[in-house]
Homo-oligomer: A and B are copies of this chain.
Amino acid sequence: MLMEECGIFGTLLKNNNNAVPYVVEGLIALQHRGQESAGIAYVTEDELKVFKKMGMVMDVFHNGTMKKLNSHMVIGHVRYSTKGRSEIQNSQPFHVRFKNEHFAIAHNGQIENAEQLRKELEEQGTIFLTETDTELILHILIKKLNKKISEWTFEEIAKTIFENISPSYSLLLLFKDKIIALRDKYGYRPLYYYTDENGIYISSEDSGFYFLGPDKKNIQEIKPGEAYEFSLNGIKKFSVNSQEKRYCFFEHIYFARPDSNLFGKNVHMMREELGKMCAKENPVEADIVVPVLDSGLSAALGYSKESCIPIDLGLMRNRYVGRTFISPNQSDREIGVRRKLPPIEGVIKGKRIILVDDSIVRGTTMRKIVDMLKKAGAKEVHVRIASPKVVNICKWGVDIPEKDELIAANKSIEEMKKAFNADSLGYVSLEGIKKILKDEYNNYCFHCFMK
């Protein structure tokens, strides 16, 4: 099954047909959630159309392209896929046709009961033209509602999805006359909407609205189990009971933008807290704290504050690096890391270093970074990870590999320390996270951290 880390953004403008640039701006703000393909579905006077392409948002949408795409209701999607299935046919939004009517969908998440749903549908002869979970939602809607699309009511649509599709999903549906935004009852993935005098905007993260210079009071979370209908007639809401929450903690650790506020917490500040907790749980004498840029910076700031060991840039981050033009020889395994994270020797030399990163999955680059730091003269390198050990897969939309590829699922702390050539290694415990989140702890999903 394809795991999908994605971002979605929608716009409904009340008074003009210029919604496409808003969605494009929103997708740019969500680009970190998916860099493989970008696309939109949009409503015109008598049609519903899709424009999508492999590539980054900026490359997919040119000013010239956009001038031709006039619409007042648009949904968009950025996608990141795994396992090489980066074919255009898997890129979203999808555009569906049924009895001469149309609708489109953009989805962030991964459906837990996908295999079972797929089997049931296949038993009834349904075929799949894409390899995404998202396609299932389309088939389920048609099968269950069993009438013309234009006769579907908002409540029916929302109910059908809530009742038949297992989380996770935050999604946008585009119809001729409305956008429906919907978040699963556990709330795995975030979803927000914002209203101003011109219209309504929906976004995976609240930072998606920042280009609007928003009045933050008007940013609303779409809560777990809630669905909204946005149309020129106004806003309708439908909700199902959502007692149990399962906010994805990985959104905080790695996936979201630091300036986003997810599940009631600012992402950067959460990472800083995690860094502090990591310092409390894994103290060590050292000279400097070195972040693995960019994602480790927030946690390193926290570690530094808590430990009172100064933070310093022992590793730079080179932004212009892409593919390599020179094949590294055997003896030079670190060329990739060195191009991307070149060490600053003057900072490192002779120092006892606390190296802070946000998480470790496979652990393959960590060894290269440690080796590089030691070559550059580091006396000791203490690896500190501002999250718990990743020991399990994710079935709800984070691209975590199979267990046998997860280093922490297969090695002890001592073994990992050796594998990284580190002088010590420390994670944050789930107990530590409980102390940070307090009562909120039970509202999160920590599945990938639990055997």
Instruction: Show the binding face of A for B, using Cβ within 8 Å.
Output: 21-22, 24-25, 28-29, 31-32, 49-53, 56-58, 61-64, 66, 87-89, 94-99, 119, 122, 124-131, 135, 138-139, 142-143, 146, 207, 210-211, 213, 216, 257-259, 261, 266, 268-269, 272, 294, 297-298, 301, 305, 310-313, 316, 318-326, 332, 334-335, 338-339, 342-347
Contacts and interface: CB of A to CB of B under 8 A. Distances in A.
A310 B320 contact: no
A114 B259 CA distance: 48
Contact of A258 (B62, B119, B305, B313): B313
A341 to B, nearest CB: 10
Nearest to A145: B125
A213 B61 contact: no
A129 B52 contact: no
A325 B61 contact: yes
A211 B129 contact: no
A22 B326 CA distance: 7
A97 B126 CA distance: 10
B88 A325 contact: no
Contacts of A345: 216, 259, 261, 266
Contacts of A211: 326, 335, 338-339
A297 B320 contact: no
Given A258-B313, A272-B312, A326-B21, A129 B88 contact: no
B96 A128 contact: yes
A182 to B, nearest CB: 19
A88 B52 contact: yes
Does more than half of chain A's interface fall in helix, strand or loop, or is it mixed?
mixed
A88 B53 CA distance: 8
User: How many copies are assembled?
Assistant: 4
B96 A127 contact: yes
B129 A21 contact: no
Contacts of A338: 210-211, 213
B99 A122 contact: yes
A259 B28 contact: no
Nearest to A328: B213
Specify which of A53, A88, A119 lies most central, judged by the most chain B CB atoms within 10 Å of its CB: A88
A266 B343 CA distance: 11
A274 B331 CA distance: 39
A152 B364 CA distance: 44
Given A127-B142, A210-B339, A320-B57, A269 B347 contact: yes
Contacts of A312: 272, 301
B313 A311 contact: no
Contact of A346 (B128, B269, B325): B269
A261 B129 contact: no
B135 A129 contact: yes
A344 B206 CA distance: 12
Contact of A128 (B97, B130, B143, B324): B97
A432 B216 CA distance: 42
Nearest to A272: B312
A294 to B, nearest CB: 8
Nearest to A63: B64
A49 to B, nearest CB: 7
Contact of A344 (B49, B124, B266, B322): B266
Specify which of A21, A135, A347 lies most central, judged by the most chain B CB atoms within 10 Å of its CB: A347
A170 to B, nearest CB: 21
Contact of A213 (B52, B135, B335): B335
